[in-house]
A and B are shown apart, each in its own frame.
Chain A
Amino acid sequence: MKLFTATAVLALMAGLAIADDFPPVSVHLKIGGVS
């Protein structure tokens, strides 16, 4: 159980670290149908 919890925590930390590596995406939209 402890091993499972430790593995889950490490996986979560790795996921957060990867997410932190990527800067946000800038988006510019042109929307049709706006009167």
Chain B
Amino acid sequence: MKSLEGLEGASNVKSTEKDEFELTLKPGAKLAPSAIKAVLPAKYSVDEMKVTVTAELAGPEKEGETGVRLVLLSGQKVALANRKAKDDKDKVEDVVGKLAEALKSGSKAARVEGVLVEDKDGNLTLQAAKGEGLPTANTEKK
């Protein structure tokens, strides 16, 4: 899809199925389904956005709140949730619990894979399928 190549920070855009696409985004680029939708012709919608992202790992924004979140290089804050179960037999890994423990143990960053969803107010939640705490966001120079 040609219009995806116009997305700021996007590269390696390729089609994997008729309606499925893969691309790479620069770490500082805006990451949100609405940012993708903005470059698509009006007749198209973003049905699902799966991402694998490495970002700063942070605790709750306000005192008294629980949970962990990611702070992207762009400054966007992304709440973390465990992925939804497909059915009753589907066992969901507690990625959020694992990352909360990693944060307590001194991890400053995390690499997380999951579906990114955005509510009508633009708040982002990453429904994590996989995740690991990292000492820093720098995974390239080990």
- How many angstroms between the C-alpha atoms of A23 and B26 in the bound complex? 8
Instruction: Report if B28 contacts A (CB, 8 A).
Output: yes
- How many angstroms between the C-alpha atoms of A27 and B54 in the bound complex? 12
Number of A-B residue pairs, CB cutoff 8 Å, is 93
**A19-B73, A21-B138 known; A27+B51 contact, CB < 8 A:** yes
- How many angstroms between the C-alpha atoms of A22 and B56 in the bound complex? 9
A31 and B55 contacting across the interface, CB-CB below 8 Å: no
Minimum C-beta distance from A35 to chain B (A): 9
B: interface residue count bin: 35 or more
For A28, what are the chain B residues with a Cβ–Cβ distance below 8 Å? 16, 20-22, 48-51
Give the B-binding residues of A (Cβ under 8 A).
18-34
Give the A-binding residues of B (Cβ under 8 A).
1, 4, 16, 18-29, 31, 36, 40, 43-55, 73, 136-140
Q: Which of the residues A19, A24, A26, A32 comes within 8 Å of B47, measured between beta carbons? A: A32
For B137, what are the chain A residues with a Cβ–Cβ distance below 8 Å? 21-23
Q: Which of the residues B23, B53, B136, B140 comes within 8 Å of A29, measured between beta carbons? A: B23
B24 and A25 contacting across the interface, CB-CB below 8 Å: yes
- How many angstroms between the C-alpha atoms of A23 and B20 in the bound complex? 23
A27 and B20 contacting across the interface, CB-CB below 8 Å: no
- How many angstroms between the C-alpha atoms of A32 and B45 in the bound complex? 5
A22 and B73 contacting across the interface, CB-CB below 8 Å: yes
Q: Which of the residues A18, A20, A26, A29 comes within 8 Å of B20, measured between beta carbons? A: A29
For A21, what are the chain B residues with a Cβ–Cβ distance below 8 Å? 136-138, 140
- How many angstroms between the C-alpha atoms of A23 and B29 in the bound complex? 12
A32 and B24 contacting across the interface, CB-CB below 8 Å: no
